[in-house]
């Protein structure tokens, strides 16, 4: 029985981790949009 509970607990932590990562992604994109820093190519290839 403890093995089943362990798998259930792992699934709960996995869902919590995914939700936290999604929230951080939206927060990151919102801050980037506020500062006008949404040009991804600019970070990869700086202007010559």
- How many helices (H) and strands (E) the chain has is answered by 2, 0
18: containing domain: 2-44
Series of mean pLDDT values for 10-residue runs along the chain (48 residues): 68 94 92 78 57
Rounded to whole angstroms, the Cα distance separating 11 from 28 reads 26
The pTM score is 0.61
Instruction: Give the pLDDT confidence score for residue 31 in this predicted structure.
Output: 87
- Residue 23 has a pLDDT of 96
Domain count, the chain: 1
Tokens of 6: 């362990």
């Amino acid at each position: 029985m403890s093995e089943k509970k362990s798998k259930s607990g792992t699934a709960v932590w996995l869902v919590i981790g995914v939700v936290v990562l999604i929230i951080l992604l939206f927060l990151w994109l919102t801050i980037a949009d506020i500062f006008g820093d949404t040009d991804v190519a600019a970070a990869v290839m700086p202007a010559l």
